[in-house]
Structure 1
Amino acid sequence: MINTNATVLARGPWAPLSPQEAAELLAGADFPWWIAGGYAIELAVGETYREHSDLDVLVLRRDQARIRRHFDRWDLFLADPPGAGTLRAWPEGEDLPGQVHDVWCCRAPDEPWSVQLMLDEADTDEWVSRRDARVRRRLAQLGRVTSTGIPYLSPEVQLFYKAENVRAKDEIDFERVVPLLDVGQRAWLASALGLVLPGHAWLDRLKA
């Protein structure tokens, strides 16, 4: 069981679940969730085209009590404070501080990290970006579902998150998925980037 006083280094061995394994883990969850990160882009594209060092799952902060119960047999650690390079244990019953957005999950203390939960905000039926509350999306439009039933974050929303600090793998994801975005998805992403990151290099490429 988790040591509630434990502090660990954020860096450590990862053996990420696959999206299918994550879907099996979250089967029956009483809260919405979506595969996020690079895996979400691959699910939108419909094929695997690069390696992944971790697995991100987006959840809503307002569901944190349900999330903690669902993972009651797991060891969960919080990036608190964010960016410090260490993680502290998340004991059952603790309400997460507002600055905590990432929860690292492993099955037991001697097991590698398997899942990273990313907590986002919501206002009734709208998702609200934790980076800028002006950027919103109806929860009904936030994700999609694969033919095998795996929920994943809509690619335009995932690209919005990737745009803040573009790495080589983010450029690959952008190039692979942008041709598949419809007019509405492109318009939403362009609007969000124009609001938060005006002048971003992706804006002109979204018009192509």
Structure 2
Amino acid sequence: MVAEHEKPWSPLAPDEVATLLRDAPFPWWIAGGYAIDHFVGRTTRPHGDIDVLLLHHDHEKLRRLTAGWDCWVADPPGRLRPWPLGENLAPQIHDIWCRPNPDAPWAIQFMLDDGTACHWQSRRNAAITRPLADLGARSETGIPYLAAEIQLFYKAKSPRPKDLLDFEAALPLLADEQREWLADAIRLAYGDGHAWLKKL
């Protein structure tokens, strides 16, 4: 029997995510590789999934919005289990996988991070914060995307080959203030010896 986390993906496109979340009573941002694509203005590589960031305190609103979907949460260190309606998630749960029904491929992954009504706060280091208004930018069609430097900060924790590709694609286009923010965040969360700091 195939484990749930090994079942296939057929990710929604960003515009399909926007349709799903059009009535969301909370802020959200397309994250992952799609956020880097938006920043550089082109598709840099294939994407096997799609990530959406929201704040942890909004997860119950998300579950009500996706009431007709089959949603699972990843209990640390990553075991997937069903997420029933009405369950309030513990603070250590950060990943949610959703699909239209149990027989469908996985379609979207939601990532929960810390914050308040006005600020995002990294769960990797509470000193790393940002006003929600500055957490990302909207596309011409109104879809919110996570800022490239914040997405790269996530990817810098344990970079995989695709994360290195995203870093190299975005690096030449980062403004000085974006580079400075990313370098400071990497130092705070991951230490002065991080390999990316030499390029920032």
TM-score interval for Structure 1 and Structure 2 normalised by the shorter chain: over 0.9
Residue in 1 aligned with 2:195? 201
Question: Which whole-Å CA distance do the structure 2 matches of 1:11 and 1:151 have between them?
Answer: 29
Residue in 1 aligned with 2:110? 117
User: C-alpha displacement at 1:42, in angstroms?
Assistant: 0.4
User: C-alpha displacement at 1:123, in angstroms?
Assistant: 2.9
**Equivalent position to 1:158, from 139, 151, 165:** 151
Query: Identity of paired residues, percent?
Result: 54
Instruction: Give the conservation status (yes or no) of the 8 Å contact 1:82–1:99.
Output: no
- Where has structure 1 moved over 6 Å in runs of 4 or more? none
SS at match of 1:10: helix
Question: Which whole-Å CA distance do the structure 2 matches of 1:81 and 1:161 have between them?
Answer: 18
| Count of residue pairs brought into register by the alignment | 197
Instruction: Give the conservation status (yes or no) of the 8 Å contact 1:78–1:87.
Output: yes
The answer to whether the aligner puts 1:59 opposite 2:54 as a matched pair is: yes
Instruction: Give the conservation status (yes or no) of the 8 Å contact 2:120–2:135.
Output: yes
**Alpha-carbon distance change, 101 to 184 in structure 1, aligned in 2, over 3 angstroms:** same
SS at match of 1:164: coil
TM-score, structure 1 normalization: 0.91
Instruction: Give the conservation status (yes or no) of the 8 Å contact 2:125–2:188.
Output: no
* Residues 167-187 of structure 1: CA deviation (Å, up to 9, x unaligned): 111111111111111111111
The residue type paired with residue 205 of structure 1 is K
Question: Which whole-Å CA distance do the structure 2 matches of 1:23 and 1:82 have between them?
Answer: 30
Question: Which whole-Å CA distance do the structure 1 matches of 2:63 and 2:193 have between them?
Answer: 40
The answer to whether the aligner puts 1:192 opposite 2:185 as a matched pair is: yes
The residue type paired with residue 148 of structure 1 is T
**Structure 2: which 5+ runs fail to align?**
none
Instruction: Give the conservation status (yes or no) of the 8 Å contact 1:78–1:104.
Output: yes
SS at match of 1:82: coil
The answer to whether the aligner puts 1:37 opposite 2:44 as a matched pair is: no
Instruction: Give the conservation status (yes or no) of the 8 Å contact 2:44–2:166.
Output: no
Alignment of 1:50-199 (within 5 A): 50-83=45-78, 86-197=79-190, 198-199=192-193
User: C-alpha displacement at 1:81, in angstroms?
Assistant: 3.1
Moved more, 130-139 or 102-111: 130-139
